[in-house]
Amino acid sequence: MTRYPLEGSERHLPPGVRVLGAADPRERLEVSLILRATDRHSLTERTARLTAGERLEPLSREQFARLHGASEPDVQAVREFARSQSLTVVQESAARRTVVLAGTVLQMNAAFGVQLLCCEHASGTYRGRQGPVQLPGRLRDIVVAVLGLDNRPQARPHFRLKTGRGKRKSRAANPPADSFTPLQLASLYDFPAADGQGQCIALVELGGGYRPQDLQAYFAGLGVPAPKVIPVSVDHAANQPTGDPGGPDGEVVLDIEVSGSIVPGAEIAVYFAPNTDAGFLDAVTTAAHDTVNKPSVISISWGAAESDWTAQTMKAMDEAFQAAIAMGITVCVAAGDNGSSDGVGDGANHVDFPASSPHALACGGTSLKATTAAICSEVVWNDGTPSSGATGGGVSVFFPVPPWQAGLDATDAKGGRVQLTNRGVPDVAADADPNTGYRVLVDGVSAVYGGTSAVAPLWAGLIARINVLTARGAGYVQPLLYPQENACRDITKGNNGGYRAAAGWDACTGLGSPDGRKVAAIHGL
């Protein structure tokens, strides 16, 4: 059987990884095959019209599945391939363009022309591979990604837990607060009033969990009703709190408590998935195409540098975001907490994905000084220490510059201005400094968290409020937001290492932090 390499599927072993040998041939695994879209041309045309700022009526999930899901002949071709390779079809979704196949390592090696390996890295072992995935000719034009063969941890959460090291308190009569509740921040950023009734915010989580008693206690302490929180299992993952506030529980609960505080009348659907490329994408597509919970906003606080991803995964995730905006869903993504390097130790600048997708609202971070009544000052979040971090931001090496960023410049560390030729990150920002962070309750512990992980659900809460007031999904926000000069509070001081803040858009805080009522005004309020 003639095989062809799947474009963009190449994997390489990261630095510091040691190959222990071949993976156990008897190990069973599941692999997600992502298929081409039906009528891809019309979907591309629709996305282009939205990108140009045209306000189109969102497609229903049923309409999208019918117009742009996978075709039955393509799904049947994958079934036949699975049968020929003695693989089992365990899940099919035409809307998500996904077919999940199960089999042993030995069978997957034969089916996809790979040699799966047992690899060791600092935090444990994983199943890895090198080189491209191989496809037979009959699937060459049908399958656009094969995910899950490699199960290395794909992403990290973007939160920072405040430690004992804090900033000296002011002696002024009304000193700035050193932490805030999400409701205080919503007030400081002048969010329009709405409780989120009828909305659903989707949270994508790749580990950890929450304890219902913590949520009940937290929302009671704020004096707001507890939102309905719905755990959704993706690829066999589940709500599994670890008991460690500094672990993934911190991410899960931070996301719930920030978004739920701002829209307590909304439902919060938490999509738990394995921390793999397959799990991450499956969580996003499951949320976007969920006909039961019907999220209007997706908030993602996990990511990794673009250099850590395969091209096939970035393309598939970006297409999933395009599907979301076609259905009127806004996708808010944290931009990272490791400054302009994004934690890559090669001395170069890097941006975080999936924040770098032009179809995601990339959320950067600021350091906010404010009393309970007013903002005193706001600058780029950069604590200057690896433990406390700095906002991510920079220029993508994968995605071209979108039309709404055409002509913009990034200001580098020396003050030089370079016109964007690729996608600039982030789009917007808000408070992310753990020293001026968010008061939350995790695993029975009251703590203060920062990181751009808090900014994504904060913006998601704002979008959900706007959706209530406009009675429609905001969808693709950037084409409407970028032409407005005053919808965000421009941040002009600070840097994230490789880039400086400047008047207008910059590669530290984007357009700036929200002026909620002005953001709402661009949607017709």
Catalytic site positions: 251, 255, 453
Q: Which residues contact 210 (CB under 8 A, 6 or more apart)?
A: 229, 239, 241, 249, 252, 253, 256, 270
Q: Distance between CA 232 and CA 142 in Å, rounded?
A: 29
Interhelix angle 40-51/61-68, rounded to 10 degrees, is 130
Q: Distance between CA 154 and CA 30 in Å, rounded?
A: 16
Q: Which residues contact 400 (CB under 8 A, 6 or more apart)?
A: 421, 422, 423
Residue 31, number of CB atoms within 10 A of its CB:
21
CA atoms within a 13 Å half-sphere pointing along the CA-CB vector of 391? 41
- What is the DSSP-derived secondary structure letter of residue 206? S
Q: Distance between CA 367 and CA 184 in Å, rounded?
A: 15
- What is the DSSP-derived secondary structure letter of residue 499? B
Q: Distance between CA 290 and CA 357 in Å, rounded?
A: 22
Q: By CB neighbour count within 10 A (0-12 exposed, 13-18 middle, 19+ buried), where does 444 fall?
A: exposed
Q: Distance between CA 23 and CA 258 in Å, rounded?
A: 41
Tell me if residue 69 falls in helix, strand or coil.
Answer: coil
Q: Distance between CA 346 and CA 503 in Å, rounded?
A: 29
